[in-house]
Amino acid sequence: MSLSTSERAVIPAGPVLVCRDLRKRYGQRTAVDGVGFQIAAGETYGLLGPNGAGKTTSISMICGLLRRDGGEVVVAGRPVDIGATGAKAAIGYVPQDLAIYPDLTARENLRFFGRLQRLRGKELERRVDEVLAVIDLADRAGDRTDRFSGGMKRRLNIGIGLLHHPRLLVLDEPTVGVDPQSRNAILSSVAALEQEGMAILYTTHYMEEAERLCDRIGIIDEGRIRAEGTRRELVALVGGKDRVELTAGGTTVGPATAALRALEGVEEATASDGRIVLVVEEARHLLPQILETAAGAGAVVRSVEVVEPDLEAVFLHLTGKALRD
Amino acid sequence: MNAALVIAAKDLRQKLRDRSVLLMAVAAPLGLAFLFSMMIPDQDTFHATYAVVDLDGGAVARGLVEGPLAGLQDAKVATLVPTATEAEARAAVKAGDVAAAIVIPAGFTAAVEAGATADLLVIGGPSTLPAEVARSVLAAFGSEVTGIQVAVHTAIAAAGARPDPALAAEVAQGALAAPPQILVAAAETADRSAGSKTFYGASMAVMFVFFAAQFGVLGLLAERRNGTLVRMLAAPIAPATILLGKVIVSLVVAVVSMTVIAFATTLLLGANWGDPLAVAALVVAIALAATGIATLIVGFARTEEQAGGFIAVVALVLAVFGGSFFRMSQAPEGMAALSILTPHAWFLRGIDDLSAGGGIAAVATPVAVLVTIGLVTGGLGLARARRVVAP
């Protein structure tokens, strides 16, 4: 999935999305309570939280679909206000549920939503063809979508959001109910769009997706962002350390273990049954030195596994409950 | 407006692919119009062919043939076929060449002049109505003859003269030949109602236009159910544009439905809807009224199914009270008065006026009433429906 050269040339610096202190109440229940973050061009921001955490309510306010009780949203320098359509033209919204017409073909769906995005004539046809190629549905463009597989429908659902070259792409749990193969294709596509300079807001309750895709992650629960940062920053919040497991052969692992324990950055080293387990600060940075030290101590390393603390642990630490509760 | 047309064009494309729209908007009303107009013959256009056998040839017989029977022919109610013998007349009736036969036996005039009983014979065919009409005409003629006989004899007796059969016959013939002294004025009470083919074409069209008009505005709830409404709302268009697009679809489907039925009943059934310009005004006005009422119902409904059910009930109730199933002239007085509350009655009143030869001026009141109904109900409906698209 890639955009044309001309699209990349118009991407300005600075945040594409700025939202501050978003608030929304339904009666006595507070759905969103002071949510705020920014997303720059070429950045993917993940809102990670369980169902009912306030993710969809937040992005509905960001896209101008829901009246907010408080706060401010600015997209591409334009405020998102009720009745104002300017900022909406900069947003590509992909709703969680499929939003396509089953009795229209893929091309007819794209044409219709393209026209609503003010595309006309040859430009519309060019963009429809480009998007069909991007979502790999060019050969099924003339088929009614009720004959599509679930994955094909999901791809079309995303493609519609890309038609008008949005500066900000908002994806609301786009992989819910998708088979593993299609899910992988969708995640790869999103990563490619980020590379092309699009700002992406990605909501999910799948920790793996947030870890794989997002440059920064906001952990949201009960309408509030509990923590925000890169994955490493979030893990650091809870004092998480990496674990490195080495399987060694040749000589005994005792000398290698002792040598590794003395290595700067290694906090703990234990050995048992030909395995050496290390607790370190930055496993990925330290790994070359670890392998070199082990080899220098006579160990023949057959396999290495790095286990980093994950967002599940962070979420549990911050909220006291599991992510999928 | 441009986005509204884009939405309307997309909806119309979907409706064309949905055969239920064609069924409800065109096939069903057209089929019922055909059925009703066949089942219920048009009394205004009654016509029968009669064989007339004059075996008498006398003055009174001529008076009957050239008087009441010729009058039926002049009124284009009957065609008279002079026939030589009773046997030929019976054969013609049996063969279906004529609907009935009227036989004036030999000696009829003489019997009348003598004040004796004189018989006339009606030979009926499979359909009883033409024979009944003939009997009624002959009975009226018999009453007239009897009246003249009584008058003549009374006058002669009062003069104190001896009864003179020749004089009595001469006076009676003169009386029969004289034009009637009492005429029933018909101009003021002339029937303005449309023929049955026009009536049922128009009445079925107006009943089903309410089902046709629902397809556009009901689409708003369908978009919400399908999840496509939220995507439309995310586009850089005003929410009211979506409502406008749906209203345009309702109006277009309603107008197309009415127009197709008007053309089809005219071409296939021989219905006479009247002045095309005035009919167009009525069609647009009833489409507006139907769209307005459908919009109002959709505005209060929570789901498509609920709205569809409400619209069906309202359409049928309005059709019954508005005169879609029978003419209001045949309805109880109270019901006829109630009918003015329905768009159907105003539309059918307009069609009646057009069938009677009226032009655009004749339908000004019905058009104004229908447009008012459409604007008021549509305005209220749109105000309610805004909650569906409100952020």
A174 touches chain B (CB under 8 A): no
Nearest CA distance, B300 vs chain A (angstrom): 21
**pLDDT(A4) > 50:** no
Chain A partners of B10 at a C-beta cutoff of 8 Å? 101, 104, 108, 112
Confidence grade of residue A93 (pLDDT, cut at 50, 70, 90):
very high
Which of A18-22, A80-84, A172-176, B233-237 shows the lowest per-residue confidence on average (mean pLDDT)? A80-84
Residue of B nearest to A115 (CA): B6
Nearest CA distance, A103 vs chain B (angstrom): 7
Instruction: Please state, in angstroms and rounded to a whole number, the distance separating the CA atoms of residues A279 and B23.
Output: 74
- Picking from A100, A94, A103, the residue whose alpha carbon sits closest to that of residue A147 is A103
* Gap from B265 CA to chain A (nearest CA, Å): 33
**Which of A10 and A313 is assigned the larger pLDDT?**
A313
pLDDT at B387: 80
Average pLDDT over residues A151-174: 91
Distance from C-alpha of B10 to C-alpha of B12, rounded to nearest angstrom: 6
The answer to whether A63 contacts B234, with C-beta atoms less than 8 Å apart, is yes
Q: Which of A82, A102, A113 sits opposite B231 (nearest CB)?
A: A113
Q: Min CA distance, A61 vs chain B (Å)? A: 9
> Would you say residue A19 has pLDDT above 90?
yes
- Residues from B in contact with A at Cβ < 8 Å: 3, 6-7, 10, 13-14, 17-18, 226-228, 230-238, 390-391
Ranges A41-45, A125-129, B159-163, B369-373: which has the least confidence: B159-163
Cα–Cα distance measured from residue A119 to residue B278, given in angstroms and rounded to the nearest whole number: 41
Q: What is the ipTM of this complex?
A: 0.78
A82 contacts B228? CB cut-off 8 A: no
Instruction: Determine if the pTM surpasses 0.90.
Output: no
Which DSSP string do the residues of B358-386 spell out, in sequence order? --GGGGHHHHHHHHHHHHHHHHHHHHHHH
Q: pLDDT value at position B194? A: 61
B254 Rama class: left (phi>0) / alpha (psi -120 to 50) / beta: alpha
pLDDT in tens, chain B (391 residues): 589 999 999 999 988 888 777 777 777 777 877 777 777 665 555 678 899 999 988 888 888 888 888 888 887 778 899 999 999 999 988 888 888 899 998 888 888 877 777 788 888 866 667 888 888 888 888 887 777 766 666 766 666 655 566 666 666 566 555 544 433 333 333 445 567 778 888 888 888 888 888 888 888 999 999 899 999 999 999 888 999 999 999 999 999 999 988 888 888 888 888 889 999 999 999 999 999 999 999 988 888 889 989 998 998 898 888 887 777 666 666 777 788 889 998 999 898 888 878 888 888 999 999 999 999 999 999 998 888 777 6
Residue A319 in contact with partner chain B when CB distance is under 8 A: no
Query: Best residue in A109, A112, A143 to probe B by mutation, most B CBs within 10 Å?
Result: A112
Determine the pLDDT at residue A243. 79
Tell me the C-alpha distance between A320 and B230, whole Å. 34
**DSSP assignment string, A1-39:** ----HHHHTT--SSEEEEEEEEEEEETTEEEEEEEEEEE
pLDDT at A218: 93
Select the residue of A63, A104, A116 nearest B232 (Cβ to Cβ).
A116
Which chain B residue is nearest to residue A97, measuring alpha carbons? B227
Q: Tell me which residue has tokens 């003419």.
A: B327
Whether A108 contacts chain B with CB within 8 A:
yes
Question: Which segments of chain A does DSSP mark as H helices, in order?
Answer: 5-8, 55-62, 106-116, 121-134, 150-162, 180-195, 207-213, 231-237, 254-261, 283-296, 311-319
A285 at the B interface (CB within 8 A)?
no
Q: Is the Cα torsion angle A263, A264, A266, A268 positive or negative in sign?
A: positive
**Is B234 close to A86, i.e. CB distance below 8 A?**
no
Q: How far apart are CA B271 and CA A124, in angstroms?
A: 48
